[in-house]
């Protein structure tokens, strides 16, 4: 994915009205901001924080979840989600993995980041996705919650990358697979 894939173009239909003066005079005025031609208001589009966890079982198989909703309904994903306002990335990942899979994380180690785009209800969101390798307290408690359609452990070299919902997650899984080879 190149930087040009992260243009503001998908936001044009929904970001037309200035949030300050209400006039239909809101336009991109740089590659990362909107400006109002009426009142001069400026609004920067920055990436939101999101987290993903790489969890393997004792045989080195990687845990992937199946997405219950759009975007990417039915496709594969890593457990994780958006970081809430004021929340640390590590706490967000612990919370999401507990919510989605009923797993407590004993240890997590930062791996990498990748940018992502997330299209939801007509709005394009831009995220910066942080990946952590996670060691659960025990894999025994695992149970899929309502917000995931299921989970499965995959032998790394048998993962079909085109069945993964997002570019950032594909890149993380690719990096993980390459590390397991070396």
Q: Which is nearer to Zn ion, 41 or 61 (CB)?
A: 41
Q: Which of 86, 100, 180, 165 is nearest to 133 (CA)?
A: 180
Whether 159 and 180 have beta carbons less than 8 Å apart is answered as: no
Chain residues that interact with Zn ion, rule: CB under 5 A: 18, 20-21, 36, 38-39, 41
Q: Which residues is 98 bridged to in the sheet?
A: none
Q: What is the CA radius of gyration of the chain?
A: 19
The span from the CA of 93 to the CA of 156, in Å, is 22
User: Rounded to the nearest whole angstrom, what is the least distance from the CB of residue 29 to Zn ion in the complex?
Assistant: 12
User: Rounded to the nearest whole angstrom, what is the least distance from the CB of residue 39 to Zn ion in the complex?
Assistant: 3
Q: Which is nearer to Zn ion, 29 or 112 (CB)?
A: 29
150 C-beta neighbours (distance < 10 Å), count: 11
Q: Which is nearer to Zn ion, 18 or 93 (CB)?
A: 18
Q: Which is nearer to Zn ion, 37 or 70 (CB)?
A: 37
**Residues, the chain, total?**
182
User: Rounded to the nearest whole angstrom, what is the least distance from the CB of residue 132 to Zn ion in the complex?
Assistant: 41
Q: Which is nearer to Zn ion, 20 or 112 (CB)?
A: 20
* Angle ∠(156,157,158) on CA atoms, nearest 5: 90
User: Rounded to the nearest whole angstrom, what is the least distance from the CB of residue 44 to Zn ion in the complex?
Assistant: 15
User: Rounded to the nearest whole angstrom, what is the least distance from the CB of residue 16 to Zn ion in the complex?
Assistant: 11
């Amino acid at each position: 994915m190149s930087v040009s894939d992260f243009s503001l173009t998908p936001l044009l239909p929904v970001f037309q009205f200035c949030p300050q003066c209400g006039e239909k005079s809101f336009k991109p005025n740089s590659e990362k901001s909107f400006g109002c031609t009426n009142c001069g208001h400026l609004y920067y589009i920055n990436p939101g924080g999101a987290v993903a966890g790489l969890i393997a079982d004792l045989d080195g198989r990687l845990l992937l979840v199946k997405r219950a909703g759009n975007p990417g309904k039915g496709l594969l994903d890593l457990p994780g989600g958006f970081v809430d306002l004021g929340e640390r990335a590590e706490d967000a990942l612990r919370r999401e993995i507990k919510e989605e899979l009923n797993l407590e994380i004993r240890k997590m180690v930062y791996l990498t980041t990748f940018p992502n785009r997330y299209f939801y209800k007509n709005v394009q969101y831009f995220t910066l996705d942080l990946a952590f390798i996670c060691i659960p307290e025990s894999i025994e408690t695992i149970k899929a919650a309502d917000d995931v359609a299921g989970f499965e452990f995959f032998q790394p070299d048998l993962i079909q990358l085109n069945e993964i919902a997002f570019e950032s997650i594909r890149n993380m899984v690719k990096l993980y697979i390459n590390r397991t080879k070396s």
